[in-house]
């Protein structure tokens, strides 16, 4: 087995430059209608390549905060709250104080390799045992030990291999998104989506027997273990089904309520989330015992003589219905909106006869099966990439003719 890479302080590999936030009290520092300079927050770092930011600042804001420009191609990494979130800007940007830019030193480090190596070093140093909200500072970042290949050429080769893995993952993620959208597109065309719902339009309230909600006690953000009870988080409701691991463990007997336990076949809907995600629904399949509704996860009990839960879930995802949900949502916060049970009941949905609903759901099954297969393959690719990173970034497997070859 090849000898693993020696660890070197990050300060020997790159010059670190952290950002800052111009005063929020001064409007002239923030670009509103006019074009400004991209300013990066942790929430902007979602994908490998960063193309746009939620906010922009003015040249006056740049000068007031004494910010330094981060050129395109220089990796940036978060070192507060969400540790190790990284991106490579595609244009010159400025960042806030929770993000550090990594300027590689000539002959010591490759920028693309830093993008992969530094976040892994951050995350392996401050593991899951670290308390929530763990932060670093510039001094601890400079002292951060990073496993370093013998040559910059080997760094580049490692980055190229991981880039290839990222490209494959991105392609499959796009395939999953397209396949996942097929059922809604097909459903919309079958129900005359483009022309409106017409004579088959009904209020959702007409097909519901009741809406049930749970409770959200103040609990640590720790998922329930086997045999434990848990309260679902809003992130548990996904269009493809229930993500059962998204819950908070309940260990106090008085908080357990079997009447709000989630059952197979339940139609769930979120009443609070961001503007894009509020009102998501799913049909529960084979959940583990002991998962309870929260006050933000609702169970819609459908009248079986009028509608099928799977069909109602499908139409709640239609573009026209999603527009209604967003328009009915209340709240001024950009991160969290709410929709009331009364508003949910007022939603107008297409409602063909039961036999047509059943036939439509049958036609959906093939599309959903392909999407699930692609989703499973995507999960496998992500695991493969994680293994590659562990091997390549530590030196367990070597490239470029050094030690064992990939």
Q: What is the dihedral of CA 172, 174, 176, 181, to 10 degrees?
A: -170
Lowest mean pLDDT segment, chosen from 81-85, 337-341, 362-366: 362-366
- Better-predicted residue by pLDDT, 37 or 366: 37
Please check whether residues 44 and 115 belong to one and the same domain. Answer: yes
Q: What is the pTM of this model?
A: 0.63
Q: Are 198 and 283 in contact (CB under 8 A)?
A: no
Please check whether residues 318 and 260 belong to one and the same domain. Answer: yes
User: How high is the mean pLDDT of the chain?
Assistant: 87
pLDDT given for residue 273 in this prediction: 85
CATH number, domain at 40? 3.90.220.20
What domain count does the chain have?
Answer: 3
- For 262, which DSSP code? -
Q: Are 48 and 87 in contact (CB under 8 A)?
A: yes
Average pLDDT over residues 166-189: 79
* Residue in 115, 107, 120 with CA at minimum distance from that of residue 153: 107
pLDDT given for residue 75 in this prediction: 97
pLDDT given for residue 374 in this prediction: 87
Place of tokens 């920028």: 111
Please check whether residues 319 and 377 belong to one and the same domain. Answer: no
Enclosing domain of residue 11: 7-148
- Residue 291: how many CB atoms within 10 A of its CB? 25
At 191, is the pLDDT very low, low, confident or very high (cuts 50, 70, 90)?
A: low
pLDDT given for residue 132 in this prediction: 45
Please check whether residues 33 and 128 belong to one and the same domain. Answer: yes
- For 50, which DSSP code? E
- Better-predicted residue by pLDDT, 393 or 405: 393
Cβ partners under 8 Å of residue 324, min gap 6: 347, 348
Please check whether residues 333 and 379 belong to one and the same domain. Answer: no
Instruction: Using the predicted structure, report yes or no on whether residue 281 has a pLDDT greater than 70.
Output: yes
Average pLDDT over residues 219-235: 91
380-396 pLDDT tens trace: 999 999 999 999 999 99
Interhelix angle 354-392/152-190, rounded to 10 degrees, is: 180
Q: Are 16 and 138 in contact (CB under 8 A)?
A: yes
99-146 pLDDT tens trace: 999 999 999 999 999 999 999 998 877 654 344 445 578 888 999 999
pLDDT given for residue 195 in this prediction: 40
In a domain, 252, yes or no: yes
């Amino acid at each position: 087995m090849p000898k693993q890479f020696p660890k070197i302080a990050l300060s020997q590999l790159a010059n670190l430059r952290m950002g800052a936030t111009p005063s929020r009290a001064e409007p002239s520092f923030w670009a509103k209608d006019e074009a400004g300079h991209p300013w990066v927050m942790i929430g902007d770092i979602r994908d490998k390549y960063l193309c746009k930011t939620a906010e922009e600042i003015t040249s006056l804001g740049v000068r007031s905060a004494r910010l330094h420009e981060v050129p395109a191609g220089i990796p940036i990494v978060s070192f507060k709250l969400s540790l190790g979130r990284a991106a490579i800007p595609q244009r010159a940007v400025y960042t806030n104080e929770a993000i550090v830019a990594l300027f590689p030193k000539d002959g010591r480090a490759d920028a693309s390799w830093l993008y992969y190596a530094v976040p892994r070093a951050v995350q392996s140093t401050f593991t899951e045992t670290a308390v929530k909200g763990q932060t670093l500072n510039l001094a601890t970042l400079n002292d951060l030990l990073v496993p370093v290949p013998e040559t910059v050429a080997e760094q580049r080769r490692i980055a190229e291999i991981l880039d290839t893995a990222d490209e494959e993952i991105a392609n499959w993620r796009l395939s999953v998104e397209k396949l996942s959208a097929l059922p809604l597109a097909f459903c919309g065309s079958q129900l005359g989506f483009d022309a409106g719902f017409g004579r088959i339009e009904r209020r959702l309230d007409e097909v519901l027997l009741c809406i049930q909600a749970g409770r959200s006690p103040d609990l640590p953000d720790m998922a329930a273990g086997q045999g434990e009870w848990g309260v679902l988080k809003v992130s548990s409701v996904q269009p493809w089904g229930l993500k059962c691991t998204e819950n908070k463990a309940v260990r106090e007997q008085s908080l357990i309520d079997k009447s709000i336990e989630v059952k197979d076949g339940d139609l769930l809907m979120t009443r609070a989330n961001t503007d894009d995600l509020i009102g998501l629904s799913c049909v529960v399949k084979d959940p583990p015992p002991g998962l309870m509704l929260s006050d933000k996860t609702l169970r819609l009990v459908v009248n079986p003589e009028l509608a099928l839960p799977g069909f109602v879930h499908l139409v709640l995802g239609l573009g026209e219905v999603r527009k209604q949900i967003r328009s009915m949502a209340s709240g001024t916060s950009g991160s969290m909106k709410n929709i009331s049970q009364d508003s949910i009941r007022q939603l107008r949905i297409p409602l063909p006869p039961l036999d047509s609903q059943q036939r439509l759901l049958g036609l959906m099954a093939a599309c959903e099966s392909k999407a699930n297969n692609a989703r499973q393959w995507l999960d496998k690719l992500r695991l493969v990439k994680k293994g590659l990173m562990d091997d390549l970034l530590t030196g367990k497997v070597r490239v470029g003719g050094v030690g064992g070859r990939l």
